[in-house]
Amino acid sequence: MTTHEPEITGPVDLALPDGMHLNPAASGWSRSVLHTANLAGVWGRTKRWDYWAVLAGDLVVSSVYADVDYLGLADVWWCDLVDGSTGGRGITVPFARGIALPDLPGTAPLRARSRHLDLAATDDEAGTTRIEATWRERDGRRGALDVAIALPAGHESMNVVIPWSDRRFQYTSKHQARPATGRLTVGDASWEIGGAAGDAWGVLDVGRGRWPYSTVWNWGGGAGRADDGTVVGVQIGGKWTEGTGATENGVILDGRLTKLGRELVWTYDWDRPLEPWTVRDPDGALDLVLTPRYDKHSRTDVGVLRTETHQVFGTWSGSVTDDGGRRVTFSGLQGFAEESRSRW
């Protein structure tokens, strides 16, 4: 048995009809998006976001679209892992005016427009998400992103409610190992994503919930092919879930999720983030080492919102085991890990 947590198999509201208290029937995990985040009231504690990343060999691209009540955020960021060059553009919107995310993730387009950035994320009936963006880099170059992230039939995701209390709780939907194709262009430079350029994988982090003011979390993920050709997706987290009886941990093998209910053991050094990160399951279902190539170290301090994050990108090696006892080994899986410290 890999988890003690109850599996949810049908649609469910995240909150009770008052929109403020956790619906007991929502506590658990599912293999697809089933939770509707019917949140109301409690201004200042409600957080909603969709974060996308695309892992494309020597290239990483990400985009965030978020409403954290007193601030809205939208951006595109990219990094060439070979030479460490980065770019992109972002906007912040006081009180999140004009930033809107649907209660049921993936059911409405996300759109942000400003003088420097035009961003859109839309989902078709098959579940493919298309991210289109144009922007002006701070050095004046034009940037453009057009990427499609497929949702293969039957491909499962990690969906779970983390209950700190009946008034503080988070629904997260984490997607790993979704095939991505497209192109990034910045000035005269251009990168193909997926296709002839090799495997590229989409990562999605959906958040809908009510957070305490001060939080610390780990998150990590990645995708690629095991030694035997199995497509592997890794979804791991820690710190923020401790003591809740729930985790966001699991592995996806050829599209099927195995949920891990135990807290994982993370070993790394905040002050030396480019040294290896190890993550292990106490019972041996997961044993991973990330070798970082780049550290995205970010700080934000805008009044009531203060965050600092080390997010490192590199390659995973190790092994994972599914709930049927099948163990696969790999090296060179594209991936990332992070620690984030927030007051928000």
Question: Is residue 7 domain-resident?
Answer: no
Round to whole Å and give the CA distance between 222 and 234.
Answer: 5
What integer pLDDT is reported at residue 25 of this predicted model? 98
- Residues 48-58 have a mean pLDDT of 98
Neighbours of 30 (CB within 10 A): 24
Query: CA nearest 145: which of 163, 124, 121, 164?
Result: 121
Neighbours of 278 (CB within 10 A): 15
What integer pLDDT is reported at residue 40 of this predicted model? 93
Round to whole Å and give the CA distance between 54 and 181.
Answer: 9
How much is the mean pLDDT over the chain? 96
Question: Is residue 3 domain-resident?
Answer: no
**Token pair for residue 75?**
């951006």
Do residues 274 and 295 make contact, with C-beta atoms less than 8 angstroms apart?
yes
Total count of domains within the chain: 1
- Residues 53-72 have a mean pLDDT of 96
- Residues 6-13 have a mean pLDDT of 98
Phi, psi dihedral angles at 99 (to 5 degrees)? -100, 120
CA distances for 40 relative to 16, 18, 293, angstroms = 10, 7, 42
78-126 per-position pLDDT tens digit: 999 999 999 999 999 999 999 999 999 999 999 999 999 999 999 999 9
What integer pLDDT is reported at residue 297 of this predicted model? 98
Question: Is residue 109 domain-resident?
Answer: yes
Do residues 281 and 318 make contact, with C-beta atoms less than 8 angstroms apart?
no
- Residues 216-242 have a mean pLDDT of 98
Percent of the chain with pLDDT over 70: 100
Is residue 236 over pLDDT 70? yes
Task: Give the CB-side neighbour count of residue 177, counting CA atoms within 13 A.
Answer: 26
Do residues 282 and 265 make contact, with C-beta atoms less than 8 angstroms apart?
yes
- Residues 40-62 have a mean pLDDT of 95
Is residue 1 over pLDDT 70? no
Phi, psi dihedral angles at 25 (to 5 degrees)? -70, -15
Question: Is residue 198 domain-resident?
Answer: yes
Strand partners, 148: 130, 181
Domain range spanning residue 318? 12-343
Round to whole Å and give the CA distance between 95 and 98.
Answer: 9
pTM score: 0.96
Do residues 113 and 120 make contact, with C-beta atoms less than 8 angstroms apart?
no
Look at the block and give the residue holding tokens 């427009």. Answer: 113
Do residues 66 and 73 make contact, with C-beta atoms less than 8 angstroms apart?
yes
Question: Is residue 55 domain-resident?
Answer: yes
Question: Is residue 4 domain-resident?
Answer: no
Round to whole Å and give the CA distance between 87 and 201.
Answer: 20
26-41 per-position pLDDT tens digit: 999 999 999 999 999 8
**Token pair for residue 118?**
């035009």
Question: Is residue 1 domain-resident?
Answer: no
Question: Is residue 309 domain-resident?
Answer: yes
